[in-house]
Chains A and B, each alone.
Chain A
Amino acid sequence: MKQGTARWRMNDKVIRSLLFVCAAISVVAVLLITVMIFVEAFPALKETGVWDFIAGTKWKPTDTPPQFGILPMIVGSVYVTGLALLFGLPIGMATSIFMAEIAPPKVAVVLRRAIEILAGIPSVVYGFFGLMMVVPIVQTLGGTGMSVLTASIILAVMILPTIVSVSEAALRAVPAEYKEGSLALGASHWQTIVRVQVPAAKSGILAATVLGIGRAVGETMAVILVAGNIPVIPESILKAVRTMTVNIVLEMGYVQPGSLHYSALFATGAVLFVFIMLLNFSIRALTKTRGEKQKNAKKH
């Protein structure tokens, strides 16, 4: 029996170190990717200047001399993401309230399954659906149908699963006493939802929103098919738009590795990277305040 225990300990050590190696892989990957992006981006940022790169409005990579200004793409990402949130957030919120508070358990299960499927559809399929179904409909409003509006509609559907699942979890995490207390005071179910449940789950819902933004900003394949991809700040939501992710993927295919154009695409990636990092930090800040609040609540 003693021998067995020793052996177990050996196994334990081996497995522990294996797990450590696996965990280290992701850290190393993050470091390598970060270093690579910034090293590759350096020549273009140096040539153009960081401010001119971010605030420049002309993107003409094949002209002589080339011009690299990504302001239209930064604005494009913000427009498309903002509009997608405007469409997606109310629908997502309503769905999560329905699932957490109103729907009978069986209905909630069916809804949850449907949303899981929505989350599993590859983004290129969303894009193709958009190109074949949504573009012709938006075309009837004017323009070519490839527009800010089309891209936002597709993105709104794509961020639904994130918003619904995170905010539903937040609503369900609200302590039962809150609801019971509210109902006991004579508030109606709807009043309880609006005045008690949703405010109590506020930070979770905020986190869901930020995660949705992250998904929308990072999405590429679906957007590239329906946005028109013109590097100009759109004058209306029916005009074409190019986001940062699209800028990279659009031109990476045949660009000469090592060229200034190549570097400028990485520099676009670097700007996007900083953008996403800021988002991540804001999520952490949000969840932190939430945790502290709960701790404080327990103390009292």
Chain B
Amino acid sequence: MKPGRTFAAIISIALVAGLMAGCGGTTPNGSQSETGKITVVGSTSVGPYMDELSKLFMGKNPGISINVEQVGSGQGIAATKDGSADIGMSSRELKDEEKPLNEYKLCLDGIAIVVHPDNPVSNLTKEQVKKIYLGEITNWKDVGGNDAPINLYTREASSGTRGAFEELVLGKDAAGKQITIDETICAAVLNSTGNLGASVGNDKNAIGYMSLGIVPEYIVKAIKFNGVDATPENVKNKTYALQRPFLLLTKNEPTGIVKDFLDFCLSSDEAKAYLESQKLIIE
């Protein structure tokens, strides 16, 4: 009889405690100073980082709600222009016809071309990388390496790094359509930098690409692109071409909570630490 009772008591206590914990969440927080909504619209590459930064900001300012919509740089720029977005996100420089907007550089993103450490090839031009990823060059000897097939490694279709690689290296076709990687000619499609790094390090004939900041963590060789070393310094001084800026945009001079949030993203130590932890390069 006694154990039964104890069991029932424990369950009721647990249930009551659960209910009380549930109520705790709805207690209004009286300490907030600002309230309002911010809409951030744009690039799917910048979006995940801004999403994380907005969570950090909202954690400190419970009255503010920030909505990050990831729809692409072009749409983000358009939404900033017509005023439907408070802040726009772009993962490329603005075209002349898209200006003028207030531009704020969040950070830079560099992409390294990586091969197996034993691969004698140490430099590739943009044209060579493009031909390799389109399947037009399929042997390392055609780019100054060993007589061996080139095994292509790529990230998955929804990856931001892959999108940037396709944009920067493959470019657009005659009709203005973005050229994409044909996965069926690749050796492997991998869904994380870690997996890609390990796989390229395993395969003597591999070529892959990954965020430049993270290369030292893997046993791979980052080769020169157009003769320039893949280093953060060369990204900062613009000599390394496989890079793009992450821009935040506003239509007018920012004020109020939009300004507070921009200041947080661009100059707070917390935001800097987060972006650096994501291997992005801050100028």
Contact = CB atoms under 8 A, between A and B. Distances in A.
Interface of A: 4, 8, 11, 14-15, 18, 59-64, 131-132, 135-136, 139, 143-146, 224-225, 228-232, 240, 242, 249-256, 261
Contacts of B159: 253-254
B188 A144 contact: yes
B202 A61 contact: no
Contacts of B48: 254
Nearest to B15: A18
Contact of B202 (A63, A135, A229, A251): A135
B29 interface: no
Contacts of B186: 230, 240
A194 to B, nearest CB: 43
B4 A146 contact: no
Given A231-B183, A249-B191, A250-B191, A61 B44 contact: no
A144 B187 contact: yes
B188 A11 contact: no
A232 B184 CA distance: 6
B191 A253 contact: yes
Contacts of B177: 64
B16 interface: no
Interface string B184-195: 101111110001
Interface stretch (B19-27, B89-97, B102-110, B150-158): B150-158
B17 to A, nearest CB: 15
Contacts of A251: 156-158, 191
B180 A250 contact: no
Given A240-B188, A251-B157, 11 more contacts: A18-B11, A60-B180, A62-B163, A62-B180, A144-B199, A146-B188, A230-B184, A230-B187, A250-B156, A253-B158, A261-B157
Contacts of A18: 11
B8 A14 contact: yes
Contacts of A145: 202-203
A32 to B, nearest CB: 20
Contacts of B44: 254, 256
Contacts of A242: 189
Contacts of B203: 139, 144-145
Interface in B34-82: 44, 48, 70-71
A259 B260 CA distance: 32
Contacts of A139: 202-203
> Which residue among A4, A14, A250 has the maximum number of chain B CB atoms within 10 Å of its CB?
A250
19 contacts: A15-B7, A15-B8, A64-B178, A135-B202, A144-B151, A144-B206, A146-B188, A146-B199, A224-B195, A229-B191, A231-B184, A232-B183, A242-B189, A250-B156, A250-B189, A251-B191, A254-B156, A254-B160, A255-B158
A254 B160 CA distance: 8
A229 B158 contact: no
A136 B198 CA distance: 12
A139 B157 CA distance: 26
B1 interface: yes
Contact of B4 (A8, A59, A63, A240): A8
A253 B177 CA distance: 25
A131 B199 contact: yes
B1 to A, nearest CB: 7
Nearest to B188: A228
A229 B189 contact: yes
> Which residue among B1, B157, B190, B202 has the maximum number of chain A CB atoms within 10 Å of its CB?
B157
Contacts of B1: 4, 8
Nearest to A225: B195
Contacts of A228: 187-189
Contacts of B199: 131, 144, 146
B180 A11 contact: no
Nearest to A240: B188
A61 B157 contact: yes
A239 to B, nearest CB: 10
Contacts of B7: 15
A60 B183 CA distance: 8
B170 to A, nearest CB: 12
B8 A131 contact: no
Give the 5 A-B CB pairs with smallest separation, nearest first: A228-B188, A254-B158, A232-B184, A229-B189, A255-B158
A246 to B, nearest CB: 9
Contact of A11 (B5, B70, B187): B5
A276 B151 CA distance: 35
Contacts of B191: 224, 229, 249-251, 253
Contacts of B160: 254
A45 B178 CA distance: 25
Nearest to B161: A254
Contacts of B178: 64
A145 B183 CA distance: 17
B198 A131 contact: yes
Contacts of B184: 230-232
Nearest to B206: A144
Contacts of A255: 158
Nearest to B181: A62
Contacts of B163: 62
A8 B190 CA distance: 59
